[in-house]
């Protein structure tokens, strides 16, 4: 920064980048200000959008972007370049020299995403950020669903309460143009990964996109789908357009937790139908799961393992539940006094933050670390006669997950994985055992 003397430093921030284990932003901002008090620091992204008062209170933060920031930052930079008064800039809260905060209203989101330029990936070491030649792309913004654990509900409400539409997509033609541009600029790209919340959300859009992709791109790709929106037609379009992997959220194998706690009104039948259609079409199936959920007991936790085995998932990603503030499930946890007091340097992405007791805490951490191994175990015993399956299942529950084992054996096994994942050579071996759970 000393070499090019910036006027403006912008941090794009998610929750864990601002609080808890990855809370470097405040520290970095203090370094910058100590070195050059004149440089202006802006905080943008999901966290400052949801918690602008908290972020702007930081003595080193000069501005906070509320909502999508492209147009707001362009206006801000133009005003700074012309030395105009930038205290009134839509979409940005700005602290003046006296410390007063000018709380400008949120800027309307761009309704037609096609008018926005494509992201300039060349400013990064893009090859190093694209392992195996995979480019990550998002062609849409927002999610219309109301899962109780997700910040998208809050972000959606911020815009809807101001009379704006949050869920939008680039047109199929514009989407293809972005992909063509990536391939022209970066000849090492061999496949794409679409990180839209649900690529097939708009079926008419997806029909057109799939045909255009096949004709003009024709590279393997992966994407996110929502199980209750998967149909034979959708799977046929995925195959046509060379999709090789779909990622779908199960979250919990327990029907009550899934429907009543998480507000994911997706039935077991719908899950089975979606996974079967994709597997029968030869697509790899990657599942998202959570453990350590409120009101979840050991049996419910193991139901999540078993449903992954039953649905024959190829890859299972599992996280320990974290109650994001301003979500409905955070409110539920607070009302039931489930949230532990936060401790500095504690990794809440790998340890329960809910007050669940030491036995369940150890069971949750062990199951998260060895989730894939447990799925493989259940895949093997599901093939056995029902009577034998019940015996094997009971042995696992009553021996491996007994109170005694949970207090003695499970912490040792969990610690073993945590230790070897820190050693590069051993970490590769651990990945073989636990796949994506590390």
CA-CA distance, 104 to 95, in Å (whole number)? 11
What per-residue confidence (pLDDT) applies to 227?
Answer: 98
Q: Is the pLDDT at 435 greater than 70, yes or no?
A: no
Q: Using alpha carbons only, what angle is made at residue 262 by residues 261 and 263, rounded to the nearest 5 degrees?
A: 100
What per-residue confidence (pLDDT) applies to 98?
Answer: 95
Q: Is the pLDDT at 422 greater than 90, yes or no?
A: no
Query: What is the mean pLDDT of the segment spanning 98-113?
Result: 95
Distance of CA 247 to the CA centre of its chain: 12
Give the bridge partners for 291, in sequence order: 320
Question: Residue 284 in contact with residue 315, Cβ under 8 Å?
Answer: yes
CA-CA distance, 40 to 418, in Å (whole number)? 40
- Percent of the chain whose predicted confidence (pLDDT) is above 90: 83
What per-residue confidence (pLDDT) applies to 350?
Answer: 85
What per-residue confidence (pLDDT) applies to 419?
Answer: 85
Residue 411's pLDDT band, with cuts at 50, 70 and 90, is very high
CA-CA distance, 106 to 91, in Å (whole number)? 4
What per-residue confidence (pLDDT) applies to 438?
Answer: 41
What per-residue confidence (pLDDT) applies to 173?
Answer: 98
CA-CA distance, 227 to 222, in Å (whole number)? 15
Give φ, ψ of 43 to 5 degrees. Answer: -115, 125
Question: Residue 245 in contact with residue 286, Cβ under 8 Å?
Answer: yes
Beta carbons within 8 Å of 31's beta carbon, 6+ residues apart? none
Residue 15's pLDDT band, with cuts at 50, 70 and 90, is confident
Residue 106's pLDDT band, with cuts at 50, 70 and 90, is very high
Pick from 266, 264, 270, 268: which is nearest to 328 by CA?
A: 264
In this prediction the pTM is 0.91
Can you list the positions of beta strands (E) in 117-185? 134-137, 140-141, 168-169
Query: What is the mean pLDDT of the segment spanning 23-32?
Result: 90
What per-residue confidence (pLDDT) applies to 421?
Answer: 77
What three-state secondary structure class fits 334? helix
Distance of CA 90 to the CA centre of its chain: 28
Edge-first strand listing for the sheet containing 315-320: 134-137, 191-194, 221-225, 243-251, 284-291, 315-320
Q: Is the pLDDT at 167 greater than 60, yes or no?
A: yes
Q: Using alpha carbons only, what angle is made at residue 318 by residues 287 and 300, rounded to the nearest 5 degrees?
A: 95
Query: What is the mean pLDDT of the segment spanning 316-323?
Result: 94
CA-CA distance, 198 to 143, in Å (whole number)? 8
Instruction: Record the tokens describing residue 397, joined without a space.
Output: 């529950």
Length in residues, the chain: 438
CA-CA distance, 89 to 44, in Å (whole number)? 14
| Residue 315 backbone zone (phi > 0: left; psi -120 to 50: alpha; other: beta) | beta
Which contacts qualify for 154-157: CB closer than 8 Å, 24 or more apart? 154/50, 154/326, 154/327, 155/46, 155/49, 155/50
Pick from 118, 111, 165: which is nearest to 139 by CA?
A: 118
Which is higher by pLDDT, 131 or 218? 218
Q: What does the pLDDT look like over 232-251, one tens digit per residue?
A: 999 999 999 999 999 999 99
For tokens 């029968």, the residue is: 280
Q: What does the pLDDT look like over 248-307, one tens digit per residue?
A: 999 999 999 999 999 999 999 999 999 999 999 999 999 999 999 999 999 999 999 999
Q: Is the pLDDT at 433 greater than 80, yes or no?
A: no
Burial-class residue 11 by CB neighbours within 10 Å (0-12, 13-18, 19+): buried
Q: What does the pLDDT look like over 367-390, one tens digit per residue?
A: 999 999 999 999 999 999 999 999
Q: Is the pLDDT at 334 greater than 90, yes or no?
A: yes
What per-residue confidence (pLDDT) applies to 436?
Answer: 47
Q: What does the pLDDT look like over 71-91, one tens digit per residue?
A: 999 999 999 999 999 999 999
DSSP label at residue 325: T
Q: What does the pLDDT look like over 62-71, one tens digit per residue?
A: 999 999 999 9
What three-state secondary structure class fits 361? helix
Instruction: Record the tokens describing residue 387, joined without a space.
Output: 């009577």
Q: Is the pLDDT at 161 greater than 80, yes or no?
A: yes
- Percent of the chain whose predicted confidence (pLDDT) is above 70: 95
Instruction: Record the tokens describing residue 89, joined without a space.
Output: 């800039």
Give φ, ψ of 340 to 5 degrees. Answer: -75, 155
Q: Using alpha carbons only, what angle is made at residue 36 by residues 30 and 42, rounded to the nearest 5 degrees?
A: 60
Distance of CA 166 to the CA centre of its chain: 18
């Amino acid at each position: 920064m000393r070499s090019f003397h910036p006027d403006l430093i912008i941090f794009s921030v998610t929750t864990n980048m601002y609080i808890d284990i990855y809370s470097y932003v405040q520290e970095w901002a203090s370094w910058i200000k100590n070195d050059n008090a004149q440089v202006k620091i802006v905080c943008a992204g999901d966290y400052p959008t949801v918690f602008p008062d908290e972020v702007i209170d930081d003595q080193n933060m000069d501005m906070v972007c509320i909502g999508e920031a492209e147009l707001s930052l362009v206006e801000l930079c133009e005003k700074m370049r012309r030395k105009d008064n930038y205290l009134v800039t839509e979409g940005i809260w700005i602290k003046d020299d006296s410390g007063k905060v000018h709380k400008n209203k949120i800027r309307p989101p761009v309704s037609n995403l096609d008018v926005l330029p494509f992201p300039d990936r060349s400013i990064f070491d893009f090859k190093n950020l694209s392992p195996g030649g995979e480019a990550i792309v998002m062609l849409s913004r927002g999610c219309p669903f109301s899962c109780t654990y997700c910040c998208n509900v809050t972000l959606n409400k911020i815009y809807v309460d101001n009379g704006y539409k949050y869920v939008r997509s680039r047109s199929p033609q514009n989407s293809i143009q972005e992909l063509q541009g990536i391939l022209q600029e970066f000849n090492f790209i061999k496949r794409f990964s679409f990180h839209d919340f649900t690529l097939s959300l708009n079926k008419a859009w997806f029909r057109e996109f799939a045909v255009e992709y096949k004709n003009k791109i024709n590279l393997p790709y992966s994407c996110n789908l929502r199980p209750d929106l998967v149909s034979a037609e959708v799977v046929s379009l995925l195959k046509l357009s060379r999709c090789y992997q779909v990622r779908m959220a199960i979250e919990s194998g327990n029907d009550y937790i899934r429907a009543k706690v998480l507000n994911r009104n997706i039935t077991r039948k719908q899950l089975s139908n979606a996974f079967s259609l994709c597997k029968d079409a030869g697509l790899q199936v990657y599942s998202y799961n959570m453990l350590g959920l409120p009101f979840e007991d050991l049996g419910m936790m193991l139901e999540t393992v078993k449903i992954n085995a039953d649905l024959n998932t190829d890859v299972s990603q599992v996280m320990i539940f974290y109650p994001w503030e301003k979500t409905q499930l955070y409110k539920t946890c607070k009302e039931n006094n489930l949230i532990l007091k936060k401790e500095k340097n504690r990794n809440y992405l790998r340890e329960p933050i809910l007050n669940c007791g030491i036995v369940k805490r150890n069971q949750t951490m062990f199951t998260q670390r060895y989730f894939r191994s447990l799925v493989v175990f259940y895949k093997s015993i599901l093939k056995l006669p029902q009577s034998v399956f019940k015996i094997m299942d009971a042995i696992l529950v009553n021996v491996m997950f007994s109170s005694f084992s949970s207090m003695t054996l499970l912490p040792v096994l969990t610690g073993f994985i945590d230790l070897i994942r820190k050693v590069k050579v051993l970490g590769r071996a651990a990945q073989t055992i636990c796949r994506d759970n590390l």
